[in-house]
Structures are given as structure tokens and as C-alpha cells.
Structure 1
């Protein structure tokens, strides 16, 4: 509970005092700024804690496993699957089916018009940014008992996450959810039948999708 709230709050400060200053520029500048900040935070934490990582024990209530007949599923991995799906569906519902989500989508299309209607668009963007980063922190908490907790535990996932977003289509929440699940299944099957290609199969899929549908599977053409 504390990690998503803390990291989300920190990200809101970053958006308010740094990203907002370059909001009128191309989105690439925001990407470069946040990437640079990530390197600074990562290097600072490595200086204090090193890169070896530390183990985070699985909660006692989620230890053990489930015998499904055709496989043995660890209880904690089942919990991670359920929690991740629940959070994905909650995010989709908030953005696509609520008035707050409608304000957010309208604000990204025409912020000046929304402000003329009395909507505080800058505050809405700050809260949305904090919620998005808080989701990333929540994912880190879920991964803690599965992978060593270290400053670099998220670095290897950045390029994979980028590929998933590109395949699903920019701006499509459901596209990102379905693509993430689909790519996870494809990568898992590749590890079983052809392990050598497990680290590249997602990028091969991304190349094929971009060749056939540049906007992504669920994205809209400009």
C-alpha cells in the first residue's frame, strides 16, 4: 500500500515541477527527461544498496501451491495473476466508463476547451500521472517475492513494455492489457519449445505488426 502511494506522490511532484515546464514541446522531450531521471534514481540507489538485490519473502497466507492436474501453480503466482487482471480492468473502467475518464480523454484532445468548461485540466493530468506511476510501483511490489529486489529490477522490462504498448496501439488501454497477456503466453511457449528465441520473439512480433498495421493492433490511425 505504501509503495504505490509514495512513488505515485513523488511522480506527481516530477510532473508538476519538471514535466509541466516542457508540456508544450514534443512528447520526445518528456520521454528523455523521465528516462534521465530514472537513470539518476537508479544510479543513486545502486550507490547505497548495490546491484545484488535482496529477497522479499512471500506472505505466509500465499505460500504453497495449487494442483490443477495438468500443472502445479504456486499460490502466489495465482494471486499475482488475479491482482494484475483486477487492476487492469479497474483502470480500463475508470478511463473508458466514468465521467472522470471522459474528462481525461477530452482533456488530452482539447485541454483549452475543457478548461473553458471549468475543468482543472493541469490537476487532472497530475493525478493521472501519479496514478500511472503508482501502477508501476504496484507491479514492482507484486514482483518482489518473485525476483530479487534491486535498483535495476525494472530496467530490463522497459523495452519489453515499450514493445507491448507499440503492438497494442498507443492510447488503447484494452489493447495494452490484451497484448501484454498475449505476449506473455507467446514468450512462455517460446521458452518451452525454442528457448533461444525467447528474448527476441516479442520484437519480431512488433516488427510484423508495424509492417501490417502501423497504428498497432488496437490503435487508431492518425
Structure 2
């Protein structure tokens, strides 16, 4: 999906990162309608030629941006279902409250109308579901959650609660909320678990 770079002109990874970072910010602010090579070049402080040496058009640039900046959610096994769920909630919060959060939120709305957008969003969502299911099923197997635990409802409460916390945050409070995200993840998980389950600590 990327254009080759002429021999004798090695790619500078730092420029690549600056361009994809700027692309994520432009998309998060202006959406697909306002996403252009011109806008990204201005945001990144590079010439358009630098972008076209790397990607032939805005679609290829967008795909590269998603591939490099929309990471998946990792399964973490600490031995405690409570701590695993906290780690999951922290990853969700970091995704939506971090620097690329605006782009991820935009993508959840616009993915169907953007080349490769749906594919990359689905990859991210599948990684979240797979990690979350693994955490809950391990908790059930270890006796840390009851056998009749609804995997779907538990994960909807935690992942959905983390997402809503990020979405409902006003722009002028995002930095403050992001700074307290780790603590919020603990409070969210403890609230959900204490409401319905007894979890050994």
C-alpha cells in the first residue's frame, strides 16, 4: 500500500512517525471529509513531496496511519481476574483518551465509508473481544468468577463503561481525565465486580 522510495534516498522513520501522527490528528479533528495530503503536510510541518514519496494518495496514507497507530488490545494474565480486567479497562481508556483517541472515535462512526476503515476497526474490536473473553473465562476456570457469569454483560459493563467515560469527557477536561484514567479503571472494575460477584483478592 506504500510507494517505493528511490534508491539512495533512505526513509527516515522519524519523518514517517511525524506524518502518521499528524494524519491521525487531522482525521480526528476534521474527519474523512477534511482529511487530505495538504492538511496532513501542514500539520506535520513537511512538504507534500515527502508524503507522496511514501504514499501515493490520501487513502494509502490513511491505511498506513491506522496500521501504525491503531494498536490492538492485549490479553494480560496477572493471575487475578480483577487485575486483568483493570488492565483491559486501562487499555480501552488509553485508546480513546490518548493522542489518537479522536481518530479512533471518528473511525467508529465513519469506518463504513472509508477504504479499509472497516477492516482496521474490526481488527481492533476483535482484539478487544478476544482479550476480554480470555480474561473472563480464565476467571471462571480459576473460581474467581461464578460459573454462571455472563461474559457478554460483564464485558459490556467494563469496556462500555470505559468507552462512555472517554466519550462523555468534554474537550477541555480530556487531559485531566486521562491523567486519572488508571485510577478510574480500578474504580470501574471494582464497582462492576462488587455489584454482582465475589472476587477473591
Q: TM-score, normalised by structure 2?
A: 0.37
Q: TM-score, normalised by structure 1?
A: 0.34
